[in-house]
Amino acid sequence: MYLSPDLETLPQRCVSYVVAHEFAHVALGHFGQDFRYADTSWVDRHDERPEEVAADNLVCAWGYSSEDNPVHIDAEVRRLEAEAEDLRIAKEVEAEQQRSVDEWNRRHSV
């Protein structure tokens, strides 16, 4: 079982979830050569892997909350960042339109 040092950057509730998730893999027999994929991006494709979904389901059956799954927290952060970027662009466009109106008014005022 491998636990990333990056875990230390997460809230304790997420660390507890991840450790329980790794034990769930062991309980489900997900270990050995067939279950090594440290070379792939586990966050992006996590929910597509049946063994990850099974481990998450078992963790939730043990009483942990899927809200503490850092995979979902990361997805939520990415969604919020995308929303913030959309808002920033919308404000930029609005400011540019206002500058054009101000410029037009300045040129056409007496």
DSSP string, 63-110: T--GGG-HHHHHHHHHHHHHHHHHHHHHHHHHHHHHHHHHHHHHHH--
Binding segment for Zn ion among 3-11, 31-39, 44-52, 87-95 (CB under 5 A)?
Answer: 44-52
Binding segment for Zn ion among 7-15, 53-61, 62-70, 98-106 (CB under 5 A)?
Answer: 53-61
Contact with Zn ion (CB under 5 A): which of 14, 18, 52, 68?
Answer: 52
- Give CA separation, 19 vs 45, 49, 65, 91, 101, in Å: 19, 18, 13, 42, 57
**Residue 3 vs 101, nearer CB to Zn ion:** 3
Q: Give the total of residues touching Zn ion (CB under 5 A).
A: 2
Binding segment for Zn ion among 1-9, 10-18, 55-63, 81-89 (CB under 5 A)?
Answer: 55-63
Q: Considering the rule CB under 5 A, would residue 56 count as an interface residue with Zn ion?
A: no
Which residues are at the interface with Zn ion (CB under 5 A)?
Answer: 52, 55
